[in-house]
Amino acid sequence: MVACLPGRRIFIFRQFWKLQVHMAYLLNLIQSQMASPSSLCLLAALLALISWQAMASDPSPLQDFCVADMHSPDHFFKAAKLDTPRKTNKVRSNITLINVTQIPGLNTFGISIARIDYAPLGQNPPHTHPRATEILTVVEGTLYVGFITSNPNNMLFSKVLNKGDVFMFPQGLIHFQFNPNPHQPAVAIAALSSQNPGAITIANAVFGSKPPISDEVLAKAFQVEKGTIDWLQAQFWENNHY
C-alpha cells in the first residue's frame, strides 16, 4: 500500500506562491502611484482568494484511500452493531460514534457516523462540534431539536422531529436534542462532515473544567451568586462524546 500523500496541501502551497507573485507586482504599482482602478480590484480579489485558501478544509486525498492505522485488523469495516439499543447515561442518552479511530480507512474522507439513543425524557445536552456540520435523522420516536446562532442575535432554530425526519446543525454552533416522550425511547442516526468532529458539551466545559474556572468569573458571567456556581462545579458532569 502506498504512503499517504499530502494532497491539497501541495496545491495550496503552489497557489499561495503564484498569488504572492501577483500581489508583489500590484503592490509595486500602487507604491509608484500607477495602479489603475482595475488593478486595485484585482488586488482585492487576490486578498479574498488568499483568505479563502487559508480557511480551506482538510486536504483531500491524491489516491483511492489513505489508511490512518496500517496495523488495524480491518481498514474499512467495523462490526458496530448500530442496530442494537444502548444503555443510557445520567442525561439519559448514549452516543455510539464511528469515526477514523474505529475505521482507519475513513482518514482524509471527512465523514463520521453516530447512533444516538435517548431514553424517555433523555437528551443530548447543548454542545458544539468544532470541526463538523451534522445532519441527523430520526429512526425511532420523537425528538425536539435545535441550534442557536452566534452573537449578537442568538436566534434559536428548532423543530419537533418524527420518524424519518431530517435536521441539520451548522458547524460550531450550539445545538441539542431532547426526547419529549415520557414513555417511549427515541433513536437517531447522525452523519458528520469530519473524520474526527470533536465535541464540546457546554455545561461540562464551563462547570466541569480541570482546573475549574474561577467562581468569581462564572458568577459574573451568569449573574448568580458564587454559592450557586460552587454547587454547579461540585456536580458530576456527564460528558457525551461524539
Residue 235 has a pLDDT of: 87
- Binding site membership for Mn(2+): which residues? 127, 129, 134, 175
d(C-alpha 162, C-alpha 182), whole Å? 15
Cβ–Cβ under 8 Å, residues 29 and 38: no
Give which of 162, 138, 158 is closest to 146, Cα–Cα: 158
Q: Where are the domains of the chain?
A: 8-54, 93-233
Give which of 15, 19, 47, 42 is closest to 29, Cα–Cα: 42
- Binding site membership: which residues? 124, 127, 129, 134, 175
Region 93-233: CATH code: 2.60.120.10
DSSP letters for 133-164:
-EEEEEEES-EEEEEEPPTTT--EEEEEE-TT
The low-confidence residues of the chain, meaning pLDDT below 50, are 2, 8-11, 54-56
pLDDT digits (tens, 9 = 90+) for 153-207: 999 999 999 999 999 999 999 999 999 999 999 999 999 999 999 999 999 999 9
Residue 45 has a pLDDT of: 63
Residue 23 has a pLDDT of: 60
- Binding site membership for oxalate: which residues? 124, 129, 134
Residue 65 has a pLDDT of: 87
Residue 10 has a pLDDT of: 47
For residue 108, what are the CA distances in angstroms to 58, 61, 98, 201? 7, 6, 15, 25
Return the half-sphere exposure (C-beta side, CA atoms, 13 A cut-off) of residue 33. Answer: 0
Residue 208 has a pLDDT of: 92
